[in-house]
Amino acid sequence: MAVTLEQAQRVGYTCLKALLRFAFMVANNLVAIPSYVLYLIMLQPLRLLDSKSFWYIEGVLFKWLLAMVASWGWWAGYTVVEWGDDVKAVSEDEAMVLVNHQATGDVCTLMMCLQDKGTVVRQMMWLMDHIFKYTNFGIVSLIHGDFFIRQGRAHRDQQLVLLKEHLEKYYRSRNRKWIVLFPEGGFLRKRRETSQAFAKKNNLPFLKHVTLPRLGATQVILKTLVAPQENGTPAGGDAVMKESKSKGLQWVIDTTIAYPKGEPIDIQTWILGYRQPTVTHVHYRIFPVKDVPAEPEALTHWLYQRFIEKEDLLTHFYETGAFPPLQGQTKAISREMTLSNLWLVGIQSLAFLSGGMWYCIFQYFYHCLF
């Protein structure tokens, strides 16, 4: 089949745009991430004198870095429409966010749609696969205090112990509010077949759009972060918690990400922008943590029910192009998530100015020394 001139021009334009976007992303990383690290190195005396102020500043810088990642998708036309409960109402409370996992772009989507949720982004902790530790963003996540979890049966018990210790050490001492995890334990395409076989063996529902979640990390988070008066178990952070008078984990936010035609966006697409502008749909449902059972068997059933509901939500979305209305509503209400281009340009400009400043500082000291 012969390629027309118009098709060749379109392909050439797409390749050129992808190349320019990749060059910008590389430059962005080369200035923004080292600047983040260097600013925090310079602020170490503040960390010793006033750790609360230090982690506040770190959180602001962290939010700006995530906004830069969000801008790569936003400027490519990858936008978000939100459905269900309004999570802004609980943005100042502690919450656990449960998300279905389809591709690497899920993380980028969350980085985008949580930008306008108050202090959430700068005060959140992520649970992610340990492989992300070795990406360009790994050093940032390590400093911020995110937890990298190793998958696989051989590591499971040890990882849950490490997660509990990590939460007790860092969650409240760094004033974290939201913790984000993907209970499926991997991408849909990789786990679906195994999950369906497990469901068949144990007489559980057959799921196509999600997989059956794993209990471990969810249970550890609830046991460690829910305040004693709510489930009778010790909350993490002992002295730190007493000082901050934390109410403990108050909400579970069940978050469902849906892509048109079930075609998820991966990180390569997010960076290179070769896919046509796409609207990703994100559905939220908020549960009070007091309604979440603590016993392992009951919690497993409750967690399975959330993912069965996700299956129903996604089935409805793929059939109709919209999520169903909430209970008590006659019509589903959607909200377009927006970012300020001026704000994004300002953050990007600050990153490049910071990179230039650090370069001049190093040049000055180099000439002084040599």
Tens of pLDDT, residues 52-101: 999 999 999 999 999 999 999 999 999 999 999 999 999 999 999 999 99
CA 76-80-82 angle, to 5 degrees, is: 175
- Let me know if residue 176 belongs to a domain: yes
Range of the domain at 347: 5-227+247-324+331-369
The larger pLDDT score, comparing residue 280 to residue 11, is at 280
Query: Could you tell me whether strands 124-129 and 147-149 are parallel, antiparallel, or unpaired per DSSP bridges?
Result: parallel
**3-state DSSP call for residue 95?**
strand
Tokens 């603590």 found at: 294
Token pair in block for residue 256: 């469902």
- Let me know if residue 237 belongs to a domain: no
pLDDT (average), residues 12-26: 91
CA 272-274-278 angle, to 5 degrees, is: 105
Residue 237 has pLDDT above 60, yes or no: no
Work out the number of other CB atoms within 10 angstroms of the CB of residue 264: 22
- Let me know if residue 109 belongs to a domain: yes
Q: What is the pLDDT of residue 230?
A: 46
- Let me know if residue 134 belongs to a domain: yes
Q: What is the pLDDT of residue 369?
A: 81
pLDDT (average), residues 123-132: 89
Q: What is the pLDDT of residue 233?
A: 45
Helix axes 341-369, 51-74, angle to 10 degrees: 120
pLDDT (average), residues 237-258: 72
Q: What is the pLDDT of residue 246?
A: 66
- Let me know if residue 37 belongs to a domain: yes
Q: How far is CA 310 from CA 24, 207, 266, 304, 314, in A?
A: 37, 10, 21, 10, 6
Q: What is the pLDDT of residue 241?
A: 39
pLDDT confidence bin for 155, thresholds 50/70/90? confident
- For the chain, what percent of residues have pLDDT higher than 70? 94
Token pair in block for residue 126: 């992520």
Residues 6+ away with beta carbon under 8 Å from 101:
182, 184, 186, 187, 188
**3-state DSSP call for residue 96?**
strand
Q: Considering the entire predicted model, what is its pTM?
A: 0.90
Work out the number of other CB atoms within 10 angstroms of the CB of residue 107: 21
Euclidean distance between the first and the last CA atom of the chain, given in angstroms as a whole number: 64
- Let me know if residue 238 belongs to a domain: no
Q: What is the pLDDT of residue 9?
A: 79
Identify the H or E element spanning 124: strand 124-129
- Let me know if residue 164 belongs to a domain: yes
Q: What is the pLDDT of residue 327?
A: 82
Q: What is the pLDDT of residue 175?
A: 92
pLDDT confidence bin for 156, thresholds 50/70/90? confident
Token pair in block for residue 161: 């112990």
Q: How far is CA 282 from CA 68, 112, 165, 177, 278, in A?
A: 20, 11, 32, 20, 13
Residues 6+ away with beta carbon under 8 Å from 284:
82, 83, 84, 85, 86, 87, 253, 254, 255, 256
CA diameter of the chain: 74
- Let me know if residue 232 belongs to a domain: no
Q: What is the pLDDT of residue 312?
A: 96
Q: What is the pLDDT of residue 269?
A: 94
Residue 220 has pLDDT above 90, yes or no: yes
Average pLDDT of the chain, as a whole number: 90
Q: How many domains does the chain have?
A: 1
pLDDT (average), residues 145-170: 88
The Cα 238–Cα 197 span in angstroms is 42
**3-state DSSP call for residue 271?**
helix
pLDDT confidence bin for 10, thresholds 50/70/90? confident
Work out the number of other CB atoms within 10 angstroms of the CB of residue 294: 15
